[in-house]
Structure 1
Amino acid sequence: MSSDPWGRVDETGTVYVRTADGEQVVGSWQAGSPEEALAYFERKYEGLVVEIGLLEKRVKTTDLSSKDAMAAIGHLREQVDAHHAVGDLAALRVRLDKLVELVGTRREERRAQRAKQSDEARHAKEALVAEAEELAGSDQWRAAGERLRALVDTWKGLPRLDRKSDDELWHRFSHARSAFSKRRKQHFAHLDAQREEAHKTKERLVAEAEGLSKSTDWGATAARYRDLMSEWKAAGRAQREHEEDLWNRFRGAQDVFFAARGSVFAERDAEQTENLKLKEELAGEAEKLLPITDLKTARAAFRSLNERWEAIGHVPRDARPKVEGRMHTVERAMQEAEEAEWRRTNPEARARAEGLTGQLQAAADKLKGQIEQARAQGNDARAQKLERELEGRRALLDQALKGLQEFGG
């Protein structure tokens, strides 16, 4: 018979293990010595120790599921309870019980973690839905479209919720994307229609612009080109593949017209500049007639200058007031001289002037007599009143005499 602290072998070869409840039969051994029997079942115990240690490590350091961990614990417990090993089986049971507690703790931790992750995922998906619903009303088609695609990628990376919650949030998210896509499609369909209409309008404008390019009605055509440009801007943009070609044709037609007009205007400006020199020379000759002393000679000379002036033609617009003003000054002096000559030689006007002068002189003489009479009578007040009246008559008489002198009197 052989024994150790945890087991023994009797004379029949039966192997026992010692437990708190007494000895339990482990098995029988007939193939060798009792020591070999004990060593064999002790090795089986060590094997259980190793398996339990490995399971403890897996539970602590890996994501082994609670179900699989409990199944492995149950399997080991069956082996321990079968008493097919020699060793401290009670200690193994204690370790297995602690392992059950650890698995329970880890299960609760994972449940809490899943609940936390689920809550975080719910909030994240709700935020994605809220942003998608806001973007559904955006007119920033490119930026909003790119952002919605990014939101889809973010959604795919989030954990699933319970089916009902996940389906409800996804329905809202998908509806927002569909609403945006529908609005964007409608927008670009409308935009395509507008661009097609702009294309037709600009084809018409180009045709008219090309038709006007050889016109020589400079003012009216330039004004019409300005109107065409306003219509062009109001028409909006045509399709990209047509817009540049239409613009080049439209602008090219204008360039042809304005280049031709510019050439004509340049020639006209040169001619008008030369005309200005000639008219300045005539204005200088006219100014030499001043002051007018011989009206007849001056009138003939000015008439000849004016005929030459009219024959010359236009001068630059900005120079016109100054040079024409010089001729107008001479012309006004000529008119004033003619009016003075007419007054001097008009018999009726001379007679009226002589008559007025005579009447004023007679009235003045009469007032003098009345003043002398009033003083002789000692009526100074009446004499002073008559003197003031005489002063007024003398002032009128002086003016009348000056007018009479203009007639050579």
Structure 2
Amino acid sequence: MSSDPWGRVDETGTVYVRTADGEKVVGSWQAGSPEEALAYFERKYEGLVVEIGLLERRVTTTDLSAKDAMTAIEHLRTQVDEHHAVGDLEALRKRLDALVATVDKRREERRAAKAKQTDEARTAKEALVAEAEELAASEQWRAAGERLRALVDTWKGLPRLDRKADDELWHRFSHARSAFSKRRKAHFAALDAQREEARKAKEKLVAEAEELSGSTDWGPTAARYRELMAEWKAAGRAQREAEDELWARFRGAQDIFFQARGEVFAERDAEQQGNLALKEELAVEAEKLLPVTDLKAARAAFRSINERWEAIGHVPRDARARIEGRMHAVERAIQEAEESEWRRTNPEARARAAGLTGQLQEAVEKLERQIESARTAGNQAKADKLAKELEGRKALLDQALKGLEEFGG
């Protein structure tokens, strides 16, 4: 005889499983040893464990219906109750009971979710109806039309309500769309009339533009074209085909005029570029006068350069400030040199410098005599003190002499 905690095999080959209600016959085994018999029915138990585990995962992780889940549970329960396996059968029953509770709970959750989904669908459809009724009064024809089409797609994606409620909301929704469609048709009918008026007005503008295309009165004609363009914009749009054809003629007339003007201006621009090159050469020549070392020669040379500068015509507007700035910089440098020269030759300033130099020279000579007297008298301390004062006066005298040299003497 062989046994384990959950079953045994007696001398006749009968296999038993132990349960809370006592031992139950599992089956008869005559093909091998008792150990092989227990192992066989233990594997059958393990198979039930695996099946129950798989069903538990399906119930908790998939959308398995409650009906299918209960059918599977009952099938497994029958296998457990028939005692064709050796193991803790009571534990399997408890797992199946727990699984029944889980299925019931999920059934209630799904019922609540469906009720919630219905409420949300009702709220969503009411919101769609409210928005559609608001859009029915809009004059943003394209945007509102596209939005209404999007609302229809959204409606189709929502769950149906009960027939009465769904029909009532759809009737309001459809009525709002129809009202918008009627208003849009009326608007575009009026717009077609306006576009016909715009076509007539633009034909007149095109006729004048074509007449002006050969003008060589550049300024006034260009101004008139700007006015025609403003009138064109104010006239509104004609029907698309007419608009495109009229615009092509209008732009073509303008292009003829502005191309002719551009060719004339291009010749002028080429001349001005040549003038710019000449003035850049003169600017380089003028800049070579710096720094000013011979004021008289620099003044005469700059006067000659400036006369040649004035004889040259205009340069391009965007280069004017740059090139004239270079000449002005040289002119300012010469003016500053002139002012410096005037200050250097100013008689009053020279006299003041000479007077200061003379005073300092006398002070130096006086200190030298005093130092010599102090040393002769043996008063070295006084001599040293006077020597320090002498050094300061000599330094001032050197500065004064340099200043006087700037005045030429």
Q: Give the TM-score taking structure 1 as reference length.
A: 0.49
State TM-score, norm by structure 2.
Answer: 0.49
Query: Which structure is larger by alpha-carbon Rg, 1 or 2?
Result: 1
